[in-house]
Amino acid sequence: MAIQITYRRTSRLSMRIVKNGDVHVSAPIGLSRDRVIAFIEEHRDWISEARKKTSERQQQRNAFYDKLPLTTRAQADDALRRLKALIEPMVERHAKEMGVRPSRVFFKPTISRWGLCNVRDRSICISAYVLLLPEWCAEHVVVHEMCHLLEPSHNARFHALMDKYFPRWREARRETRRVASLSK
């Protein structure tokens, strides 16, 4: 277990466990190293439990994304074919309804985001992993990104657009999170 100590302009000691299990400690500037080490020692049980939970979450996450293998050209080509068949009709249908059309739609195997909208060039990127979601949750991702073509930020207007064009968006977001976290 690696421990990284960072001195910052903060009023208290804090720590967190990062994805690889390392411990990151933030300490106020000027606090003695002995006091920081004592803090770490006092929280050994918490560290152990938090590292275990972090490891379990990471294993669940990996198990979810491993359901869509993309390591060979044939796998990637098959995923692209399936993505186009699923997403392109959704984009067409919602483009007519919303009165907005992306300049292009492309796909990447991103795990940090389900979708991304570049408002400058008006393109939309959809994660290949939407194939692991129920179809209505994938549609939520499409509508979400298309709404960004009308409203770049997540403000009240954006939420009103989501309510108008995909009224079940909150439920879809919850289901997407549930599906992605229950992947053991």
Phi, psi of 71, rounded to the nearest 5 degrees: -85, -25
Give the model's confidence band at 56: pLDDT under 50 very low, under 70 low, under 90 confident, else very high: confident
For residue range 91-111, what is the model confidence (pLDDT) as tens digits? 999 999 999 999 999 999 998
For residue range 124-166, what is the model confidence (pLDDT) as tens digits? 999 999 999 999 999 999 999 999 999 999 999 999 999 999 9
What percentage of the chain exceeds 70 in pLDDT?
98
User: Which token pair is 92?
Assistant: 């067409």
- Are the C-beta atoms of residues 110 and 126 closer than 8 Å to each other? no
- pTM value? 0.76
What average pLDDT does this structure show over 55-80? 90
How far, in whole angstroms, is CA 89 from its chain's centroid? 24
Sequence-ordered list of residues with C-beta below 8 angstroms from that of 128, at least 6 positions apart, any chain? 68, 70, 79, 80, 83, 107, 108, 109, 110
Q: How long is the chain?
A: 184
pLDDT surpassing 50 at residue 4: yes
Distances (CA, A) of 180 to 65, 110, 167: 8, 14, 21
Alpha carbons within 13 angstroms on the beta-carbon side of residue 69 total 5
pLDDT surpassing 90 at residue 57: no
Residue 184: its pLDDT value, please?
39
- Mean pLDDT (the chain, rounded): 93
13: left (phi over 0), alpha (psi -120 to 50) or beta: beta
What average pLDDT does this structure show over 21-38? 93
pLDDT surpassing 70 at residue 68: yes
DSSP label at residue 86: H
Q: Of 58-67, 78-87, 103-112, give the lowest mean pLDDT range.
A: 58-67
Place of tokens 């918490």: 46
Q: Of 18-32, 54-68, 119-133, give the lowest mean pLDDT range.
A: 54-68
pLDDT surpassing 90 at residue 183: no
Place of tokens 């390392």: 22
